[in-house]
Amino acid sequence: MPLQDQLYDLFLLDQQVRGLRTRLDAATRRLGAQSNKLDQLRQQQTELSDQVKHGQAEVSSLEHEASDLDERVKKLREQMNNVRNNKEYSAMLVEVNTFKDEKGKLEDQALEKMGEVDATGQRLAEVQAQVTDQVKLVELAQAEVQSSKDEVGDQLADATAKREIAADQIPSDRLAQFERLADNYDGETLGEIEEQDRRRREYTCGGCYMELPIERVNALMMKPDELVTCPSCNRFLYIKQELKAEIGAK
Ligand SMILES: [Zn+2]
């Protein structure tokens, strides 16, 4: 088989492999995106649940402090019952009032903190619900990846093996060029020659639509074992059998 035809075979198989892989890749990408979102939600869940725990600990320590002050007030009151000295009594009364003030402040703080903890708890419940939904989405995405694999896995393995055999037929420098083009042009490695005007010998590259020097068209026609590229986009040029036959008949 002439090199030009071998390259065309490789091109077709490359297209097939790409098409099949695109389906798998799309499913895999969707799974990745859904999994990332789940990770983020779980992290949020952990942070919020930590906040709730810390908040609850703060509330109970404030409540403790407040009840400690209460105890001290009670004790002072008992002591005050036994005090006969007016000055001492007044000093104790000042202390009682200070403790009461402090206790009031601590209780206010505890209330405020409780409000925060409640709000965080609500947010946590929302995130937990989101996590549950997201787990389902991840499971669906996993199933989609699996069904894509079931569907295209065998075809992809088959096409990949055939592509390898076809690639082995191409000289290594040309193959490297092909692979580079395939990467750059997303598999559109070939520019099919399009006839614009036969009489004026005007031909364009189907890849970049630029006009081709007639020497390139002639080389493609006459030397099927040589590969010819487009001077504008560097794609390998390809001529359909029908067009080749028509030009050749002239
Ligand atoms: Zn071109």
**pTM (two decimals):** 0.65
Same domain, 215 and 237: yes
Output the CA 199–ligand 1 centroid distance in Å.
22
- Please indicate, yes or no, whether residues 164 and 193 belong to a single structural domain of this protein: no
Residue 108 shares a structural domain with residue 227: no
| Domain around 234 | 175-249
- Same domain for 19 and 139? yes
Q: How far, in Å, is the centroid of ligand 1 from the Cα of 221?
A: 17
Ligand 1 centroid to residue 205 C-alpha, Å: 5
Q: Which distant-in-sequence residues (6+ apart) come within 8 Å of 231 by Cβ?
A: 210, 212, 213, 216
Number of domains in the chain: 2
- Of 118, 147, 168, at which residue does a domain stop? 168
Residue in 189, 202, 193 with CA at minimum distance from that of residue 234: 189
Q: What is the CATH number of the domain that holds 49?
A: 1.10.287.1490
pLDDT, one tens digit for every residue, the chain (250 residues): 999 999 999 999 999 999 999 989 999 999 999 999 999 999 999 999 999 999 999 999 999 999 999 999 999 999 999 888 899 999 999 999 999 999 999 999 999 999 999 999 999 999 999 999 999 999 999 999 999 999 999 999 999 999 999 999 999 999 999 999 999 999 999 999 999 999 999 999 999 999 999 999 999 999 999 999 999 999 999 999 899 998 887 6
The rounded Å distance from CA 233 to ligand 1 centre is 4
On whether both 230 and 109 belong to a single domain, the answer is no
**What is the model's pLDDT at position 250?**
62
- Distance from the alpha carbon of residue 213 to the mean position of ligand 1, in angstroms: 11
- Output the CA 225–ligand 1 centroid distance in Å: 20
Distance 180 CA to ligand 1 centre (A): 15
Q: Are residues 98 and 30 in the same domain?
A: yes
What's the rounded Cα separation, in Å, for the pair 44 and 99? 40
Q: Between the CA atoms of 98, 101, 106 and 108, what dihedral angle is there, to the nearest 10 degrees?
A: -170
Does residue 215 share a domain with residue 124?
no
What sign for the dihedral angle of Cα 135, 137, 139, 145? negative
Cα 192 to ligand 1 centroid, rounded to whole Å: 9
Listed residues 133, 168, 203: the one ending a domain: 168
- What is the distance in A from the centroid of ligand 1 to the CA of 57? 71
Distance 108 CA to ligand 1 centre (A): 77
Give 1 Cα–ligand 1 centroid separation in angstroms: 25
Measured in angstroms, how far is the CA atom of residue 236 from the centroid of ligand 1? 8
Do 83 and 114 belong together in one domain?
A: yes
Q: Which of 146, 168, 190 is the last residue of a domain?
A: 168
Same domain flag for 32 and 125: yes
Cα 182 to ligand 1 centre (Å) = 14
Instruction: Dig out the tokens for 70 from the structure.
Output: 């209460």
- What pLDDT is stored for residue 73 in this prediction? 94
Q: How far is the CA of 208 from the centre of ligand 1 (A)?
A: 4
Distance 22 CA to ligand 1 centre (A): 25
Residues 183 and 118 in one domain: no
Query: Do 112 and 88 share a structural domain?
Result: yes
| Integer CA distances (angstroms), 214 to 191, 200, 225, in order | 15, 10, 18
222 in the same domain as 158: no
Task: Please give the distance, rounded to the nearest whole angstrom, from the Cα atom of residue 214 to the centre of ligand 1.
Answer: 14
